[in-house]
Chains A and B, each alone.
Chain A
Amino acid sequence: MDVFLNLPVLVQVALKGLAVICVMFPIAGACSMAERKVSAWIQSRPGPNRTILPVFRWVPVVGPFLQKLGAFQLAADGLKFLFKEEIVPGQVNRLYFILAPVIAMIPALSTVTFVPFGASIDHAGRVFPLMLANVDVGLLAVFAVASLGIYSIILAGWASNSKYPFLGAMRASAQLVSYELSLTLSVLPVFLWINAPGTAGTMSLAKAVEFQSQAGFWGGAWFIITMPVSALVFIIALFAETNRQPFDMPESESDLVGGFHTEYGAFKWALFFVAEYSNMIVGSGVFVLLFLGGWNPIPWVSLATLAGWLGIAGHPVLVGAISILIFIGKILAMLFFFMWVRWTVPRFRYDQVMEIGWKKLLPLAIANLVVYAIGIALIQK
């Protein structure tokens, strides 16, 4: 740790950036793989089950198992995107057409730095979060940077200079701005509760987890138990913000061909999808931290308690590793939930999306905020 902190600032920044890329790209690729397999299971199909590396063909049990699981499809898909011909159609605005997938990656990868992904306990028994950039306004930073992702879709649709991508971009810009309101309002009760009178104000995500790992019945309850409406509004808005079905208006294949990415192919297209999965991962991470107890294993059992049970309380590295495993496990469960919903619920019509956003979700979020504000004021008086 000290070795790392003694490096020049620019080297530290470069290493952190490299770490983000090395973690997010494979996970996003694995997600696209899992998406196909999960959809196959839900629809009673075998899914991808042919691809195999020649070496593994002769490994007895493991080879066929990995083949049936489609584990090598990931590599095949990745290589396909890499080696396909990069086509830039003639009618497009070249600068923005090429820039759009790049712009998609920037917010998708930079939000990762604000999300704490684990915690450890030092020898004095204090819990400290593991994260790349520890800013006090953590959640606000995630929302602010993530809101810039909209430009990639708008620019992609506009620069493609063709009807369907353009319609997709128009839908995206209206949809994302609409659901951002509900998303932001839904987390306010959580931070009203955390910022009790007399404490220093904070928007830190790690603080939210700290509040869900206290002793006692109310201290150990996750916020999804104490604030279910907030969690519901947040998860619905999150589906809309990440363009996931049933809210994938910008690309709805059945009426817009491919929406904003109709004209894209090969690696540029793949970048949009890495960005989408990266947004899903960060969104799930924020949901887990705010409502599902972060790195605490189950409600009413905190990480410190678990470490005590396992007898590893004095080992910061071991505790850190376990907390990261728990956190990643929860994120994977959330990602599965995303896919489950995608292959279960049919897509909304565009007018329904707008109606849900403005006439149902937003009033619900405001009512929820008012009720909790009054309740919290009475309790913390």
Chain B
Amino acid sequence: MAHLLFLVFSVFSAVCAAGIVLSRNSVNAAMFLLLSLLGIAGLFVSLDAFLLAFLLLLVYAGAVVALFVFIVMLLDTGGGTSPARSLVAKLAGLVALALIAAGLGSFALRGRLAAPGAAGIPAVGASLKAYAYQLFTLYLLPVEIVGFLLLITMIGVIVLSRKEEGNP
């Protein structure tokens, strides 16, 4: 049952992720992003990581993608299709595709995924307290740095969007 759920959710989110890249209508792409996030939340639930699943839903599916859709609708009310790409963009796309193909090919031919042993992963549990303890002890510095980065972004947005006096 768990194995089947894992397969269903992972295939679902992978297909939706492909949908994000392939759909030309930007509202469709945003909806695929939402579905892909739902699939990942399902994966977290099947791993018993309820907190991560619901935080993912609350922050990304509930707020971030909603703002994406907001911006898409604000900029382009038709939800429209993207314009024809220039020659440079097409060339860059080809190069990127070749790189990805080369990477995947070399991985398929020679690569090996070394799964870390269960002993190597510290068992801290999936409870609320375990997460909070880790965030405030071992990972305090990264959390603070990310928070600071967000603060910088916020101040930057306020500065950029402020209207000059007498020059609206």
What is the interface of chain A, defined by CB distance below 8 A to chain B?
93, 96, 135-137, 140-141, 143-145, 147-148, 150-151, 154, 158, 166, 169-170, 173-174, 176-177, 180, 195, 200-203
Which residue of A137, A176, A180, A195 contacts B51 across the interface (Cβ within 8 Å)?
A: A137
Query: What are 23 A-B pairs at a CB distance below 8 A?
Result: A137-B54, A137-B128, A140-B51, A140-B58, A141-B54, A143-B54, A144-B53, A144-B58, A147-B57, A147-B61, A147-B63, A147-B66, A151-B34, A154-B66, A154-B69, A158-B27, A158-B69, A158-B79, A166-B77, A169-B73, A173-B67, A176-B66, A180-B62
Chain B residues, CB < 8 A from A203: 128
B84 at the interface (CB under 8 A from A): no
A136 touches B127 (CB 8 A): yes
Known: A144-B53, A177-B66, A201-B132. 14 other contacts (CB 8 A): A141-B50, A141-B54, A143-B58, A144-B55, A147-B63, A148-B57, A148-B61, A151-B34, A151-B66, A151-B69, A154-B69, A170-B70, A170-B73, A180-B63
B127 touches A147 (CB 8 A): no
B145 at the interface (CB under 8 A from A): no
What is the interface of chain B, defined by CB distance below 8 A to chain A?
27, 34, 50-51, 53-55, 57-58, 61-63, 66-67, 69-70, 73-74, 77, 79, 127-129, 132
Chain A residues, CB < 8 A from B55: 140, 144
Chain B residues, CB < 8 A from A150: 62, 66
Cβ distance B142 to chain A, nearest Cβ, rounded Å: 21
Cβ distance B83 to chain A, nearest Cβ, rounded Å: 20
Chain A residues, CB < 8 A from B61: 144, 147-148
Cβ distance A106 to chain B, nearest Cβ, rounded Å: 11
CA distance A170 to B70 in the complex (A): 7
Chain B residues, CB < 8 A from A201: 127-129, 132
Tell me the nearest residue of chain A to B69, going by C-beta. A154
CA distance A203 to B67 in the complex (A): 27
Chain A residues, CB < 8 A from B77: 166
6 A-B pairs with least C-beta separation: A147-B62, A201-B129, A201-B128, A144-B57, A144-B54, A144-B58
Cβ distance A379 to chain B, nearest Cβ, rounded Å: 20
CA distance A158 to B27 in the complex (A): 9
B62 touches A148 (CB 8 A): yes
Which residue of A93, A135, A141, A173 contacts B69 across the interface (Cβ within 8 Å)?
A: A173
Chain B residues, CB < 8 A from A154: 66, 69-70, 73
CA distance A158 to B50 in the complex (A): 32
Cβ distance B60 to chain A, nearest Cβ, rounded Å: 10
Which residue of A141, A158, A173 contacts B66 across the interface (Cβ within 8 Å)?
A: A173
CA distance A141 to B63 in the complex (A): 15
CA distance A166 to B27 in the complex (A): 14
Tell me the nearest residue of chain B to A143, going by C-beta. B58
B128 touches A174 (CB 8 A): no
Tell me the nearest residue of chain A to B67, going by C-beta. A177
CA distance A290 to B56 in the complex (A): 24
CA distance A180 to B62 in the complex (A): 10
CA distance A187 to B70 in the complex (A): 27
B129 touches A200 (CB 8 A): yes
Chain B residues, CB < 8 A from A136: 50, 127-128
Given the contacts A137-B54, A144-B58, A147-B63, A158 and B129 also touching, CB distance less than 8 Å: no
CA distance A19 to B61 in the complex (A): 27
Tell me the nearest residue of chain A to B63, going by C-beta. A177
CA distance A158 to B66 in the complex (A): 13
Chain A residues, CB < 8 A from B70: 154, 170, 173-174
Give the residue among B53, B79, B128, B132 with the most A Cβ atoms within 10 A: B128
CA distance A141 to B52 in the complex (A): 11
Tell me the nearest residue of chain A to B73, going by C-beta. A158
Chain A residues, CB < 8 A from B57: 144-145, 147-148
Cβ distance B36 to chain A, nearest Cβ, rounded Å: 14
Tell me the nearest residue of chain B to A93, going by C-beta. B79
Which residue of A169, A180, A202 contacts B128 across the interface (Cβ within 8 Å)?
A: A202
A144 touches B73 (CB 8 A): no
Cβ distance A201 to chain B, nearest Cβ, rounded Å: 3
Which residue of A140, A151, A180 contacts B54 across the interface (Cβ within 8 Å)?
A: A140
B50 touches A135 (CB 8 A): yes
Chain B residues, CB < 8 A from A96: 27
Chain A residues, CB < 8 A from B62: 144, 147-148, 150, 180
Tell me the nearest residue of chain A to B62, going by C-beta. A147
Chain A residues, CB < 8 A from B127: 136, 200-201
Chain A residues, CB < 8 A from B58: 140, 143-144, 147
A166 touches B54 (CB 8 A): no
Cβ distance B61 to chain A, nearest Cβ, rounded Å: 6
Tell me the nearest residue of chain A to B53, going by C-beta. A144
CA distance A211 to B25 in the complex (A): 51
Give the residue among B50, B53, B62, B73 with the most A Cβ atoms within 10 A: B62
Chain B residues, CB < 8 A from A166: 73, 77
Chain A residues, CB < 8 A from B66: 147, 150-151, 154, 173, 176-177
